[in-house]
Structure 1
Amino acid sequence: MTTQEKLIEAMKAKFSGESQASLARHAGLGVQRFNNYVTGVRRMDVDAVIGCAQAVGWDVRKTVAEHLDETSATAREKAMWKKWAASAAMLALFIAPSIVQQAHAATLQHLPSSDPSTAAAAATAAAVTVGIMRN
């Protein structure tokens, strides 16, 4: 199954029961354009892959790299996209948690802990940081 097919299936699963027009809107695409991808008339471009990956909550860099690996014309291009996908996955696994921990520690360090509203603000800041790192 291609990345395009996986994305379309994931869109249908996440937004179960919704029309293709609704799925297209979730991905930020026109209805006819999305329909062309669903029917296989056209292959997704990078913009469509990004929109669908974001809609279903997938790692955009990894998904784009996989798609470009599948659609690349030469072995050299394929090798480069495979390497890029692997490096994106490694960044997500090893660097992101460290950055989140550092941001959380820095936030807590600069706020007085005696005020309950300040503690709530620190917790909110940490949650926002985690959300940003996941996207």
Structure 2
Amino acid sequence: MKKFLIFTFLVFGIFFLNADYSNSYCDYGPGDSFKEAVDGCYKSSQLVQPQGENLSVDKGFGQRILVWKDRLAFYFGIAAVFGIVFSGIIFAVSTGNEEVISKAKLGFKWSIIGFVAIITASTLVTFVVKFIYTI
């Protein structure tokens, strides 16, 4: 069961979580030099905004954290629900075998604990990010 859940998390992580949010838009024309392309790429970044000689992080960074939090909570929530359903199926087809029933109950228990942990962590991350950006 552990190997299957780890495999499921890796598949979701590789195929469904993309890192588009940290990239910036670069406008590069055929007559531009590499320096102009990189400068344009840096200036269009939504994560770091240049202000004179200094750099400051705008509120978009907090929004990006919240978006990632929502994505992770969504996919881990799907995995937790899948674990609950999988445990129920194992319990239903156990045909009275006590060892299989105990494994199904254990899987169900840990799926519920994981689901509660996802909700708690999501709430805490939202609270901390919103608290930091309201100071």
Same fold at TM > 0.5? no
Instruction: Sort the TM-score into its range (normalised by shorter chain).
Output: 0.3 to 0.5
Query: TM-score under structure 1 normalisation?
Result: 0.33
Query: Greater helix percent: which structure?
Result: 1
Query: TM-score under structure 2 normalisation?
Result: 0.33
Q: Which of the two has higher C-alpha Rg?
A: 2
